[in-house]
C-alpha cells in the first residue's frame, strides 16, 4: 500500500536531573559536594533511506519518543545520555512542523537527516553550586524537559521523468517496457491506483521514470485520485504525455491533451511549464489517418515533440527514450517559490527560555511562569535555605518580583508557581 502522507507526534528525551551527593570517604575531612550532572535526553532524528518507498509504517504508529537522560551520580559521575531515536523515511519526504506549517527539512537525498526534536539538557549536580559562602549546597539543577511536537510527513516522489495521461492510455505498459518495473496492467480504468517507479538504463546512463496515476479532468479539484498524485509530478524534470491516438475508446486525443494540461496549470502553473514530450501511443491501431494527421498538425502548432509509439508492440520506444534522456540531461532547475522554513534558532532561543511572565488570575492569585523558572523551581530543596534563596534571587534577577508588584502584589498576597502557592513576604 502506497502512503504519501502521515501525521505523527514526536518527543525528545528529558534531560536527567543533577545529583545532590556529598563525599563521605573516611580520612577525607573536607569531602564536600560531589553530585554529577544528569545526561542529556535523546533527540528525534529523521533520516532519508532509499530502500523505503512509502510512509505506511508511520501512518499507523502515531507516537515516537526518544530515551530520557539518566540522573547524575555521586563522585562526580555524569548520567548516561539518552539514546537518540532515528526514524527512517523515504527519499523525497518533507518534514513539516504542524503548529507553524513551516518546513523543517526536505530530505531529497539518501542519508539526508534533520534533528526535529532536540533532547533536553541534563541538570547540573550540586558540585557546581559550591562557593566560598555556600560550602555544602543541598540542591542541584533539574534536567530540562524534551520537546514534543506534531509533524506532518509528506512524500513527493523523486523521479526524472513522469508519465501522465488519462487512465488506460498505456502508461503502465510503457513503464513496464522501458524499465524493470512490474506494474499491474489490465484493460479497465484506474488499474493503477499508486505511483509506480522504474529505472531506465540507456547509453551507459540511467534515469528514474514514474507512472503518475489518477489524473483525469477535475483532478486539480480533487476528482478521481486528484491532487493526491498531482503533487508527485512536482519534482520531475521531464513529462511524457501519453495519448491514445487510436481512438479505441471513442476519445478525442486532442481534447485529452488539452484537458490534462489544463489540470496541470490549475494545480500549479509551473507543472504546465515543464519540458513535455508527447507519446502518441497505440499508433499501430489507428484506423482513421485523417484524425492522426489532424492530431500531428495540432501538436506542431503547440510546439511539441511527438513520437508515434506502440508500448504493447514495443514500437518507437527507443526514439522516445532518447528524446527524454536529452531533455533530462539539459534540464535547468527553475527558481521555485521557497517554502517558509522552520526557525530552529528561535526554537532554541535561550532568552525566550529564561523569560518570566506573570498575571493575576480570577481567584486573585498572582501566577509566575517560565521554562527556566519551572526548571529551577523543580530543583529547589525547600528544606534548605540556600536553595530557597537561590530560587528567589533568580526570580528577582529576571524581573519576576517587579512584574508582580506592577500588577498590584503586596505583602500577604498569594503567589503560585507550578502547582504550589506561597504567601508573599517583603524583605
pLDDT profile of the chain (427 residues), mean per 10: 84 93 72 88 95 86 95 92 96 92 92 95 89 80 90 88 86 86 49 69 89 57 50 84 85 88 83 90 88 92 92 91 93 74 76 77 89 83 81 87 89 88 80
SS3 25: coil
The pTM of the whole model exceeds 0.85? no
Number of C-beta neighbours around residue 67 at 10 A? 20
Question: Among 111, 76, 87, which residue's Cα sits nearest to residue 9?
Answer: 87
pLDDT value of position 367: 92
Q: How far is CA 199 from CA 24, 107, 133, 178, 310, in A?
A: 69, 20, 72, 8, 20
Count of CB atoms situated within 10 Å of the CB of 27: 4
Tell me the backbone φ, ψ of residue 45, rounded to 5 degrees. Answer: -125, 130
pLDDT of residue 93: 93
| Strand residue runs (E) in 182-237 | 196-202, 205-211
Give the pLDDT confidence score for residue 219 in this predicted structure.
Answer: 38
Nine-digit cell at 252? 478525442
163 within 8 A of 324, measured Cβ to Cβ: no
| CA 366/CA 380 separation, integer angstroms | 20
List the one residue out of 58, 52, 118, 111 whose CA is nearest residue 84: 118
Tens digits of residue pLDDT in 212-248:
775 554 434 444 444 456 777 788 899 999 999 987 7
Give, in order, the Cα–Cα distances in Å from 414 to each of 359, 363, 371, 404, 405.
12, 10, 21, 11, 12
From residue 230, give the alpha-carbon distance in Å to each of 91, 128, 392: 18, 58, 59
Q: Note whether 285 and 248 are within 8 A (CB).
A: yes
Cell numbers that stand for 305 in this block: 515533440
Angle between helices 385-397 and 371-379 (to 10 degrees): 170
Amino acid at each position: 500500500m502506497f502512503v504519501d502522507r502521515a501525521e505523527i507526534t514526536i518527543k525528545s528525551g528529558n534531560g536527567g536531573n543533577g545529583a545532590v551527593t556529598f563525599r563521605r570517604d573516611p580520612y577525607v575531612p573536607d569531602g564536600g559536594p560531589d553530585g554529577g550532572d544528569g545526561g542529556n535526553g535523546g533527540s528525534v532524528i529523521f533520516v532519508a533511506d532509499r530502500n523505503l518507498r512509502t510512509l505506511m509504517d508511520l501512518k499507523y504508529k502515531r507516537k515516537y519518543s526518544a530515551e530520557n537522560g539518566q540522573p547524575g551520580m555521586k563522585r562526580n559521575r555524569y548520567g548516561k545520555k539518552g539514546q537518540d531515536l532515528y526514524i527512517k523515511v523515504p527519499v523525497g519526504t518533507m518534514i513539516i512542523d504542524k503548529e507553524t506549517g513551516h518546513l523543517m527539512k526536505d530530505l531529497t537525498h539518501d542519508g539526508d537527516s534533520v534533528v526535529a526534536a532536540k533532547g533536553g539538557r541534563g541538570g547540573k549536580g550540586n558540585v557546581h553550586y559550591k562557593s566560598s559562602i555556600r560550602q555544602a549546597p543541598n540542591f542541584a539543577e533539574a534536567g530540562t524537559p524534551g520537546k514534543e511536537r506534531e509533524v506532518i510527513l509528506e512524500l513527493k516522489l523523486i523521479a526524472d521523468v513522469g508519465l501522465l495521461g488519462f487512465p488506460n492510455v498505456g502508461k503502465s505498459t510503457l513503464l513496464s517496457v522501458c524499465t524493470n518495473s512490474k506494474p499491474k496492467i489490465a484493460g479497465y480504468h484506474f488499474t493503477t491506483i499508486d505511483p509506480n517507479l522504474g529505472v531506465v538504463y540507456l547509453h551507459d546512463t540511467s534515469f528514474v521514470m514514474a507512472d503518475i496515476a489518477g489524473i483525469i479532468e477535475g483532478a486539480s479539484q480533487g476528482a478521481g485520485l486528484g491532487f493526491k498524485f498531482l503533487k508527485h509530478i512536482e519534482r520531475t524534470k521531464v513529462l511524457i504525455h501519453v495519448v491514445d491516438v487510436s481512438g479505441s475508446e471513442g476519445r478525442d486525443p486532442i481534447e485529452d491533451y488539452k484537458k490534462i494540461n489544463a489540470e496541470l496549470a490549475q494545480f500549479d502553473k509551473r507543472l504546465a511549464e515543464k519540458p513535455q514530450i508527447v507519446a502518441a501511443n497505440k499508433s499501430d491501431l489507428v484506423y482513421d489517418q485523417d484524425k492522426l494527421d489532424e492530431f500531428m498538425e495540432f501538436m506542431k502548432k503547440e510546439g511539441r515533440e511527438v513520437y508515434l509509439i506502440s508500448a504493447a508492440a514495443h514500437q518507437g520506444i527507443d526514439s522516445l527514450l532518447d528524446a527524454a534522456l536529452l531533455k533530462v540531461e539539459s534540464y535547468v532547475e527553475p527558481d521555485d517559490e521557497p517554502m517558509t522554513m522552520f526557525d530552529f534558532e528561535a526554537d532554541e532561543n535561550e532568552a525566550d527560555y529564561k523569560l518570566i511572565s506573570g498575571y493575576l488570575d480570577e481567584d486573585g492569585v498572582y501566577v509566575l511562569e517560565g521554562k527556566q523558572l519551572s526548571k529551577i523551581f523543580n530543583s529547589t530543596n525547600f528544606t534548605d535555605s540556600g536553595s530557597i534563596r537561590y530560587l528567589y534571587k533568580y526570580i528577582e534577577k529576571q524581573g519576576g518580583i517587579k512584574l508582580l508588584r506592577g500588577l498590584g502584589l503586596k505583602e500577604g498576597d498569594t503567589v503560585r508557581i507550578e502547582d504550589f502557592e506561597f504567601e508573599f513576604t517583603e524583605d
